[in-house]
Structure 1
């Protein structure tokens, strides 16, 4: 721990600020690679399609109803709207006009101000049963509008092991469609450059430079912040939509799916959704002939809505008094989150604000990332010995983190209430599987290698004996990093989230290879809940690609079925 009167008093506060700040990963100081004129001052064009849910008719008809205007939902809607009438139902509001969301400097405040009960808060907080503080997006753009902006494509193994039959040509075209609009190349400054050099000294090679592809070794990834620090999110992909075909309802809380039974096929089919506006009034959105409801509410929201609609394990639903529409035993199961562990220290030189720009992709099951923040803090209450400053004090903190590339440890989701506005109960069971522990130990040992590199020397302080060392805030790595037991204990004691939730509606158990819900017609899920593996180092690139990809696939499917009639 750091010694000194005023610094010691503020340690816990700094820990709260900084450990909360590493969210999904990010890059900053990007270079100009797009025309930015339309993004600087004037409102985005998609606002013409947005209205408060209270302004929508009590009943209306659509070809596609998308529940959740998030990372996958927005590109999906933009694509489908080229041919069909589409409705997005987003439980939150919009990001435009909210400086904390639109500017990378406000990223930390958004997470610190996450509110579980305020429906206008763009981030909804909850604590898992593992005791780890979490947050998820509640705004048009979803978590892509509150994350730290890091953009990197999935690894090749993901496409082999995800359970889907991918058209890799269409995958690449879908990635490129996303990247043309919202991805930028960052410029490294002091801290990120040092981390890059430290990773290479620690043997995380080769150096791959700037690339959007997943590449073993050390690389610079893309950013969804432009050169002025302004955020892009999946909502910006709505500029590709056909405005006459797309309507977006914000502050629309979907209560349940509307399902109908077939007397001939003995199956159920989605026919629409029931949603409530912020005034408590109910609305019905109904499917047109051959239409579909698509859940894009994420790894927390999609399984929750299935359960509330009577789709899930029969005994469990009956215990809640929820009428069972379809027995589907694995809804809410196989839920994963990639654990994060790391260290934070005070550097001996001033550092710029940076979110994650550099990634070390090791061959031992872990990814290494870093960030630096200039953090404001309050001094201790005024005493006879300390005069409160007239202006805020600022302190730079730096962090190195390790995220395992698994995990194999699986958790589950249960209802906390039959009110959809309350987050369900979630347990991720971090480190239940011994392989995850081994990967964490490998990653945290690599952090030690980076700290011992020459690239890190400039950030050390010299003590009264003339020895240079780091001034850690919070737990430091164990002194004997060869001791597997100590390192495993460090992993368990310091575990936190990297906000890369996935699972809960996984392929082969809840949805089929076309992402259709098994046993329910006209119902599909297009979001991270279908994955049992998180794609690459950071999921948002692949989730945006997924929305575009399945939008194109669905249009082609429908065109073929029309030709067959």
Structure 2
């Protein structure tokens, strides 16, 4: 226990060392042709006009922009920077920096803590969350489409998926840890073994990855390479302040006000038949609607914000998928891996794992250890699970400085606690398979067991109260939060904001449930899909966009 105590203390001191180690890795060449579209916002004119303005160059915004640019002028406003400014996000080895580097206000991630007290992050980089996640690619489950209140064209959905996959998705080559995890899932009864499959299926499978065989990340930003270069402009470090509205022909969005990195205000407006599309994510999109005067009248009045349109649903039905599981200290070093294998117990519960090397250093007691004995590399195996459908929901509101305050109310609904208990019990079966005997350690009395980092799994898994308490005490995020602008409440089935012309929301804030194992594939698909629908509706034909 003493060694574990020292380890936990050391976690507070290793951030600097891991940042230096990982940033020094050789980063493979990336297809960064999209750089030709990018301009810092402070170089743009103070007034401009475009056919479409997309707020947020993230997981949905990039494919949407590339698609619309085939026939129309597009401006993307991204508050973050070009990912090439942060080499750590471009490689698999750099993933750890996402959670360990300090948030200095410019990094590709923004830390926040919900009112529940749970730590979380948001993407703040061109490419959005696809540039800071663990890279697992999995299509949405059928229930996502059935329960979304959208009349989907499934042929176009398939077309959108394939357009994305040909550019950013690879079949991963499993290393020793992912192979062992896959074997353990099957041994624990998570069957059948489905092999490699991008679709959502029950059982064990190898999913897609946006990391290639060299560990290079291919995020949503690379989909910009498919854009028509004549029609696309991407402004980085552009912070949108509010949406501009007009009442001349019914309530309509006509433009946006945004500031550059120097604090200078810019105004961008849309041409006739143009639109403004919010793709700022599940935090950013409801935040911007509220900041622009669209939301619950009582809340906006309390902040002395002018009311543009009362809609009590803006910022409501916020949900986050609570993460359950355990972290085991491995008795040997193993190569770090992203998530490549998933076990799905039923359509709703998923278990993943990754391995990571945790370098840290401490200042040893004076004269106790030989010189240069202060560093060590530690291998960890992280078992993490989630359930897609979350019954516990919360809300997002603004404080007086217009910053978002979020509460998710994790595990407040008994159905969520029941799902968590079921998932934890399966993790317990998983770690007790014969395969996982290899990661146990032997104490001086000859007893074999796991060295857990943090709280160990409950010993009596049959005690519902005990396992439920474990769920509550260890609740953390899976970073798959969604909601705030739900279909049927804030936007209609075409993702148009109800009651406002020329304004849409296209991102995860419209989701009432998290699509399958990882929402990234569905969010990218949504950007491409809505873009194709918009072109079809405006041009009156199903044309092939530039870049196909």
- Partners of 1:325 and 1:288 lie apart in 2 by 21
1:380, CA displacement in angstroms?
A: 3.7
Following TM superposition, by how much is the alpha carbon of 1:349 offset from its aligned partner in structure 2, in angstroms? 2.8
Distance 1:211 1:16 in 2: 40
What corresponds to 1:146 in structure 2?
132
The corresponding residue for 1:29 is none
**Are residues 1:537 and 2:525 paired?**
no
| Alpha carbons of structure 1 residues 307 and 359: separation in structure 2 relative to 1, 3 Å | same
Partners of 1:15 and 1:435 lie apart in 2 by: 36
- Aligned match of 1:24: none
Instruction: Give the structure 1 partner of residue 48 of structure 2.
Output: 60
Counterparts of 1:121-160 in structure 2 under 5 Å? 121-160=107-146
Answer whether contact 1:72 1:547 (CA < 8 A) is retained. yes
**1:223-262, CA deviations, whole angstroms, 9 ceiling, x for partnerless residues?**
1111111111100000100001000000000000000113
SS at match of 2:194: strand
Give the Cα–Cα distance (whole angstroms) in 2 for the partners of residues 278 and 97 of structure 1: 15
Q: How far apart in 1 are the matches of 2:340 and 2:286?
A: 32
SS in 1 for 2:84: coil
The match for 1:228 among 214, 220, 225 is 214
SS at match of 1:134: strand
Taking the aligned partners of 2:462 and 2:399, their CA distance within structure 1 comes to 43
Matched, 1:297 2:280: yes
Which one of the candidate residues 5, 10, 20 is aligned to 1:8? 5
Unaligned runs of 5+ in 1: 22-38
Q: Which residue in the other structure is 2:479 paired with? A: 499
Distance in 1, Cα, partners of 2:465 & 2:54: 48
CA distance in 2, matches of 1:15, 1:408: 35
Shift of the alpha carbon at 1:17? Answer: 8.1
Q: Is the 8 Å Cα contact of residues 80 and 237 (structure 2) preserved in structure 1?
A: yes
Moved over 6 A (4+): 15-18
Q: Does 1:455 align with 2:435?
A: yes
Q: State whether structure 2 residue 534 is matched by structure 1 residue 554.
A: yes
1:276 aligns with 2:286: no
Matches within 5 A, 1:231-242: 231-242=217-228
Aligned to 2:457: 477
Q: Residues 165-187 of structure 1, C-alpha deviation per residue, up to 9 Å, x if partnerless?
A: 11111101100000000111111
Q: After superposition, what is the alpha-carbon deviation per residue over 1:501-547, rounded to whole angstroms, capped at 9, x for unaligned?
A: 11000011100000000000000000000011111110001100100
CA gap of 1:44–1:365, structure 2 versus 1, over 3 A, is closer
Cα displacement (A) at 1:164: 1.0
Structure 2, unmatched stretches of 5+, are 19-26, 543-548
State whether residues 334 and 411 of structure 1, in contact with CA within 8 Å, keep that contact through their aligned partners in structure 2. yes
Secondary structure of 2:42's partner? helix
Residue 417 of structure 1: how far off its partner (Å): 3.8
Total equivalences in the alignment: 533
**Mean CA deviation greater in 400-409 or 123-132:** 400-409
Contact 2:388 2:515 in 1 (8 A): no
| CA deviation after TM superposition for structure 1 residue 113, in Å | 1.8
Q: Give the direction of change, closer, same or farther, for the CA distance of 1:307–1:561 in structure 2 (3 Å limit).
A: farther
Where 1:243 maps in the other structure, the secondary structure is coil
CA–CA separation in structure 2 for the residues paired with 1:403 and 1:384: 47
Counterparts in 2 of 1:388 and 1:447: CA distance versus 1, 3 Å: farther
**Equivalent residue number for residue 396 of structure 1:** 379
SS, match of residue 383 in structure 1: coil
3-state SS of the aligned residue for 2:240?
A: strand
Aligned to 1:318: 301
Task: Find out whether 1:464 has 2:433 as its counterpart.
Answer: no
What does residue 23 of structure 2 align with? none
Q: Deviations over 1:470-491 (max 9, x none)?
A: 1111111111100000111100
Task: Describe the superposition over 1:26-53 as per-residue Cα deviations: whole angstroms up to 9, x where unpaired.
Answer: xxxxxxxxxxxxx953761111111000
Distance 1:160 1:538 in 2: 18
1:87 to 52, 75, 92: 75
**CA offset digits 1:90-128 (Å, max 9, x no partner):** 00101114221111111111322251xx44211000000
- In 2, Cα distance between equivalents of 1:287 and 1:372: 48
The SS at the match of 2:83 is coil
1:105 aligns with 2:105: no
TM-aligned CA deviation for residue 284 of structure 1: 0.5
Distance 1:536 1:15 in 2: 34
Between stretches 296-305 and 161-170, larger displacement belongs to 161-170
Superposed counterparts of 1:290-439, under 5 Å: 290-363=273-346, 365-387=348-370, 389=372, 392-419=375-402, 422=403, 424-439=404-419
Equivalent residue of 1:548, what SS? helix
Q: Secondary structure at the match of 2:234?
A: strand
Tell me, in whole angstroms, the C-alpha distance in 2 between the residues paired with 1:15 and 1:508: 45
TM-score (normalised: structure 2): 0.94
Corresponding residue number in structure 2 for 1:180: 166
Deviations 1:354-412 (A, max 9, x none): 12111000028421111111110112444232345267321111121121222111110
Q: How does 1:228-267 map to 2 (within 5 A)?
A: 228-262=214-248, 267=250
Q: CA deviation at 1:140?
A: 0.3
Partner Cα distance (2:441, 2:289) in 1: 54
Contact conserved, 1:15 with 1:474, CA < 8 A, in 2?
no
Q: Given that residues 156 and 529 in structure 2 are in contact (C-alpha distance below 8 angstroms), is that contact kept between their aligned partners in structure 1? A: yes
Task: State whether residues 92 and 119 of structure 1, in contact with CA within 8 Å, keep that contact through their aligned partners in structure 2.
Answer: no
Contact 2:296/2:313 (8 A) holds in 1: yes
**Residue number in structure 1 paired with 2:22:** none
